[in-house]
Amino acid sequence: MNTPVVGWDAGRRKVKIAPIARWTQADVNAYVAEHGVLVNPLLSDGYTSIGCAPCTRRTLEGEDARAGRWAGSGKTECGLHE
């Protein structure tokens, strides 16, 4: 994903800030471990990206982490971030 750390939403006339946009999965994992952050139990059940029930499936070994979102449709987002 190419989410900028700081961006401008012209339609809403708002600055958008995504402070962890450049974190790697290793950065996230380290933060979770260090701070005892609770994680969704579906992550350990093969769901590497979690959305709503009808449009999310487990990912297969070797697939991109977002492959389970909207599988077969070419989409990876529900519409909030499109």
Is residue 55 exposed (0-12), middle (13-18) or buried (19+ Cβ within 10 Å)?
A: middle
Whether 55 is a known active-site residue: answer no
Of the residues 78, 79, 81, 82, only one is catalytic, namely: 78
CA dihedral 61, 62, 67, 72 (to 10 degrees): -90
Q: How many CB atoms lie within 10 A of CB 69?
A: 22
Catalytic residues: 78
